[in-house]
Amino acid sequence: MKEAQATLTLSERIIKEDAYFSQRHTLSYSGLSKLSYCPSEFYKRYILQERELDTNKNQIEGKLVHCLLLNPEEFNNLLSYPVCRRVLQQLLTLPLRCPEVWHTA
């Protein structure tokens, strides 16, 4: 399940297209795959940079931890999504359990 973003106006699309095509790009395997499978999705993701936020709990947990460790200045921006706040609240209520090997001296 994905959370959709707001659509862009025509002038915003043109600006993004100009910015994309004014630079030299290389495509990853996933980019080429998306282009061959669904060109409109490639256009939205890579040219307009309209990325949808995955609502898979495990992916959101990974994004939260990654952002907290490597991009702490971006962490509050990620929490602007309600689904991220819900997952973080669930994570904070989990009891911390250390493996038994940590308790041996």
pLDDT digits 0-9 by tens, 29-52: 888 888 888 888 888 888 887 776
Q: Is residue 3 part of a domain?
A: no
Specify whether 42 is located in the same domain as 61: no
Name the residue range of residue 44's domain.
8-52
Supply the mean pLDDT for the chain. Answer: 76
When divided into structural domains, the chain yields a total of: 2
Specify whether 77 is located in the same domain as 45: no
Those residues with Cβ within 8 angstroms of residue 64's Cβ, 6 or more apart along the chain or in another chain: 75, 78, 84, 87, 88, 91
Q: Judge if pTM exceeds 0.85.
A: no
Specify whether 35 is located in the same domain as 23: yes
Specify whether 62 is located in the same domain as 88: yes
Q: Where are the alpha helices (DSSP H) in 1-105?
A: 10-21, 29-37, 39-42, 57-70, 75-78, 82-93
d(CA 85, CA 55): 12
